[in-house]
Amino acid sequence: MTRGQLASGMAAAAVAALVAVLLWEPTSAWQIVAHGVLTVVWTLLGLGAVVLVGYRRGLRRRLSDDLRRLSGPGIVDSMSPKQLLDVLLSSIYGRNDANHDVVTGLLGRHLTVSTHTEVDLELSALNHELYELRYTCAYRFRRPLTTSRFMLVMTSDAGIRDSIVAGIDLPLFELWFFSERAGFDNASDRTIASVRLSFDYRDLDGNRRTSQARHPEFREVPARLLAQYLRPDLRRRLDLPSTKVRVFECDLSQPAGRQVRSIERLELKVAGPQHINDGYCYWQPPFPCYVEQVRVDAGALNVDGLAKWQFRTVPFTFRSGSSVAEWLPATTRTALDIESWLLPGHGVAVLWRPAQEAEG
């Protein structure tokens, strides 16, 4: 039955009930009750018919127009970017936890996005087995980050490292990975002591200020608490042994000397020991970054008593044309013009080998 037929039937029933009410003169108690029921019935039927006719004639079109407007920009504007992208990916790929990795890669955490990023990597041999990886990262954020907390996570567990890259929920953090468990505590102590932070920020009154490079006062956070910053699906299957992960946190108000409301630019300097025999190191962005340039200085890998080294750089990014295809002497400084977006999971690797391998 169509809406038109339903409206016609209701109108006919309402007219019949109205005629009965007008012509019937009840003489007993039950007739009086029935007469009252008919009065209510014809009123409801008549009102229903009028509503249906009005809906078909004009209200339906107006409601349809409103719904079309809501289903477009109205609903889109009311949804967060992560919700919107999650719905889109689910409609294409189906429901899958891995979709969250794509969302995180594209949008980051808390919409932390650096639109101007430069990276300096420096490698210096410490002895025959270890070298120090030192990097300086300068981030300028698309929108000020409403936070005053910076967190540094260090681990020697590849599973923990990958989970952090895929799903940590912090606006401002850095991840440091040690390839071996041996010496982890000493290496992490040395790394945390090397941290220097400088940043542009706004105080509680909205004034823009700059904090010069300083070593902030870190406090160590129990490793088990790291789970609360991970997505639920990662949290459930992640084991956090304290021997393989250390978490340090600082309040940026301390080096700033006043309360920090938001961060507009951050420069991080950090260094830590790694094993020369690994033959490679890499840098990955902690959140989406537009990277102008990555500069590499491996000259200090050459020390007395060690082989002379050659190195090359291999970006794993959207664009790989900026890689240094040939092996170069370690004393050659290089600058890679990335000029592209790097998402968590992207990065730049530096490879090295003894020079005599090339001669052989």
Mean pLDDT across the chain: 80
One-letter amino acid of 289: C
What's the confidence (pLDDT) of residue 228? 77
- The burial class, CB within 10 Å (0-12 / 13-18 / 19+), for 78 is exposed
| SS3 of residue 258 by DSSP | coil
| Strand pairing category for 114-125 and 289-300 | parallel
Q: Are 211 and 198 in contact (CB under 8 A)?
A: yes
For 268, the token pair is: 């991080």
Pick from 74, 106, 70, 65: nearest CA to 88: 106
Residue 28: DSSP 8-state: S
68 pLDDT more than 60: no
Higher pLDDT, 251 or 31: 251
Local confidence band at 244 (pLDDT 50, 70, 90 cut-offs): confident
CA 287-289-295 angle, 5° bins: 115
What's the confidence (pLDDT) of residue 220? 93
User: How many Å apart are CA 269 and CA 212, to the nearest integer?
Assistant: 12
359 pLDDT more than 70: no
Question: Whole-prediction pTM value?
Answer: 0.70
55 pLDDT more than 60: no
Local confidence band at 92 (pLDDT 50, 70, 90 cut-offs): confident
What's the confidence (pLDDT) of residue 27? 73
